[in-house]
Amino acid sequence: MTLPLTTDGSRRPPLPTTPAEMRARGWDEVDVVLVSGDAYVDHPSFANGLIARLLEAAGFRVAVLAQPEWSTCEAWRQFGRPRLFFGISAGNMDSMINHYTANRKVRNDDAYSPDGAIGRRPDRATLAYCQRSREAFPGVPVVAGGVEASLRRIAHYDYWSDTVRRSILLDSKADLVVFGMGERTVLEVARGLAAGRTVKDLRNLRGVAYRLGASEPPPAGPDTVMLPAYEEVVADPLAFCEMTRISHLETNPHNARRLVQRHGREAVVVNPPALPLEQEEMDQVYGLPFTRRPHPAYGAARIPAFEVVETSVQIMRGCFGGCTFCSITAHEGRIIQSRSQDSIISEIRLLSAQPGFKGTVSDIGGPTANMYQMRCSRPEVEAKCRRLSCVHPTVCKLLGTDHGPLKELMREARSVAGVKRVLVASGVRMDLARRDPEYLQELAAHHVGGHLKVAPEHTDPEVLNLMKKPSADDYVEFDKEFKAASHRAGKKQYTVPYFIASHPGSGVEQMIELAVFLKRNGYKPDQVQDFIPSPFDISACMYHTGLDPMTRQPVTVTKGLRDRRMQRALLQFFKPENYFEVRRALEQAGRQDLIGSGCDCLILDRPPPQALDHKRREATRAFTESTSGDHIRSRPGVAPDAPRGRRQGRRRGSIGYRPKRGGPGES
């Protein structure tokens, strides 16, 4: 199967971002305007670059409106009235996660903006961009997509306002939401509208969600499932759990049914997901004529997210891990979609010919580095399966776990002329890697630059079960095997483990045991993650309701800022600046046995000088901020939210978050 695309494979200039660039192409109008909260990077890792090239190859005239000034709709009018539709995306990340830390504080940078500058997109960017599109040209269809719209397509818990919000379809008033990886669906929308069909005519497409008015009857029948209504999930935690359970069981595109959720007199309809791309289609998409560079208008400005992927090559998409805290499976799907070896090697050759290439391919991977070409060995069973993870609680006996195609690809990649090293920077799934010692040896000998990313996440069996992650023993054994493989290759290399603090099920006691595990095994994590409940995720449901939606059993939830700080500090108990937080946690849990000089002790009885210095600096900083007024004021548990969105038409006070802001209305 192939997509209806035409391209000669040669590199082409990026799509127009200004009226002058549009006129230089000889265009007097465009078919589609793609609006994005990210800078425009003509690279397949950036959704706005990929969808723009996809539509171009299908014969459409496309303009890209990247990070527009959203206080008025003037930027939306610069290309004239688009013939087909506005395509709206908040960017590669949910805009709220992009803006705020787990403690709801404003982040200091934005990896998807020039020079990492913050303030280039609004909170809940999809809502603002859809609104401006309708204002600019009433009647032009508005099609929202991307991670933010995809994961908010039904009622969802919103961490930043601590409320259950309506489907994004109602708040944005988008005509359609394209959810998941939307290449095929976006093409079908564009071709349908070009053929004279209306937006309502496109409501039967896979991979779209839409809103029904009060007078429109919702679909019914054996292929339709009613979710608990919005009003029910707001009022009843059990109803919220049921909504979450059903929506996750209906994600396999081969057997998913249509979902309908009432919101008052209106309803939201979510069609079955789009079918995964076949290998030939993946090759087409990644073989489009990308320049692999940011738009020239950015000049010398750095775009941090681009620098991470500049010399990387994506070999597959999707993840069958099903981790409950991760949105990858929910957005990209559980079915692995892989490119052919020829397609990947061709891209590496093109990359090696790029000016400035220094010989290192920074990553060949995807959501997980070692799921390439892995699929269910029984397609007829895969078509019926509703299992949420192919590897938890055990690896499914029908899952193909052969690393052979990946090993062959790795060997071929490092033999390309001009390539000195091919690294694997994507996280490795340890339980799969341990099944193939030869893969692990290849990895250690040729594809690791000293450190290998892995994600054990926790050590407590109950927490790991809630996460759908393997046991801590799996990480210990993998670590030993990786170091042994590195030793055989004559290298001294280490794993870099990632752990999560404050995930549902994890209290201070569980984090103390994790800290003891780290101490006994000599692990000192450089980077740790604070759990952030992402819309649609199963873990977000646990956080909001205190229940596991799949079993309805109670789950411990840590919400207080002080407790969350203690859990994070315990992951890095060895840092002097965390001394007092760790001590508070140990005393609170009655674990004074871990204070002192014993072999399992996490901290000494007396604070080190660095801990006292850090405490003094923090006290001075807090006092300075409280008296200067140059800090961010917010109510506990409340981030900038919908009221600000309603003010976005006004110049002052219109920005969702503002760098170095003072009082309300200052920008």
Query: Residue 653's pLDDT is what?
Result: 37
List Cβ<8 Å contacts ≥24 apart for 381-389: 382/252, 382/254, 382/335, 383/252, 383/254, 383/255, 384/254, 384/255, 385/252, 385/255, 386/249, 386/252, 386/255, 388/248, 388/249, 388/322, 388/334, 388/468, 388/550, 389/320, 389/321, 389/322, 389/323, 389/468
CATH label of the domain that carries residue 491: 3.30.750.200
Judged against a pLDDT cut of 90, whether residue 9 lies above it is answered with no
pLDDT at 47 over 80: yes
Q: What CA–CA distances, in Å, run from 380 to 226, 278, 376? A: 27, 17, 9
- A 10 A CB-CB count for 60 gives 18
Residue 179 lies in a domain: yes
Give the pLDDT score at 635.
36
Residue 385 domain flag: no
Kindly state the average pLDDT of the residues 630-648: 41
3-state secondary structure string across 510-535: HHHHHHHHHHHHCCCCCCCEECCCCC
Q: State the total domains in the chain.
A: 2
Q: Residue 63 falls within a domain, yes or no?
A: yes
pLDDT band per the 50, 70, 90 thresholds, residue 504: very high
Dump pLDDT digits (tens) for 272-303.
Answer: 999 999 999 999 999 999 999 999 999 999 99
What is the pLDDT averaged over residues 329-348? 95
Is residue 194 a part of any domain in this protein?
yes
Burial 497-508 (b: 16+ CB within 10 A, else e): bbbbbbbbbbbb
Q: What would the pLDDT profile of 519-535 be if each residue is shown by its tens digit?
A: 999 999 887 899 999 99
pLDDT for 622 equals: 77
Residue 328 lies in a domain: no
Work out the percent of the chain whose per-residue pLDDT is above 90. 87
Which range marks the domain in which residue 531 is found?
A: 450-626
Residue 384 within any structural domain of the chain: no
Provide the CATH number for the domain around residue 265. 3.40.50.280
Between 53 and 5, the higher pLDDT residue: 53
> β-pairing, 258-263 with 224-226?
parallel
Give phi and psi for 279, each to the nearest 5.
-60, -40
Which token pair is 285? 């998409």
Q: Residue 216: what are its φ and ψ, rounded to 5°?
A: -100, 125
Q: Give mean pLDDT, residues 90-111.
A: 95
Supply φ then ψ for residue 270, to 5 degrees. Answer: -115, 115
- The string of DSSP codes covering 310-329 is TTEEE-EE--S---TT-SHH
Q: Quick one: average pLDDT of 7-33?
A: 91
Report the candidate in 68, 64, 70, 71 with the shortest Cα–Cα distance to residue 87: 64
Last residue of a domain, one of 255, 270, 285: 270
Q: If pLDDT is split at 50, 70 and 90, which confidence band does 486 have? A: very high
pLDDT at 51 over 70: yes
Buried b (16+ CB within 10 A) or exposed e, 620-631: eeeeeeeeeeee
Q: Does a structural domain hold residue 340?
A: no
At 255, is the pLDDT very low, low, confident or very high (cuts 50, 70, 90)?
Answer: very high
- Inside any domain, residue 437: no
650 confidence band (pLDDT: 50, 70, 90): very low
Range with the lowest mean pLDDT among 2-6, 74-78, 137-141, 395-399?
Answer: 2-6
pLDDT digits (tens, 9 = 90+) for 344-388: 999 999 999 988 899 999 999 999 999 999 999 999 999 999 999
Query: Residue 595: phi, psi to the nearest 5?
Result: -110, 120
Strand blocks (E) in 20-111: 32-36, 41-42, 62-66, 85-89
Pick the last residue of a domain from 224, 243, 270.
270
- Domain stops at, among 241, 270, 299: 270
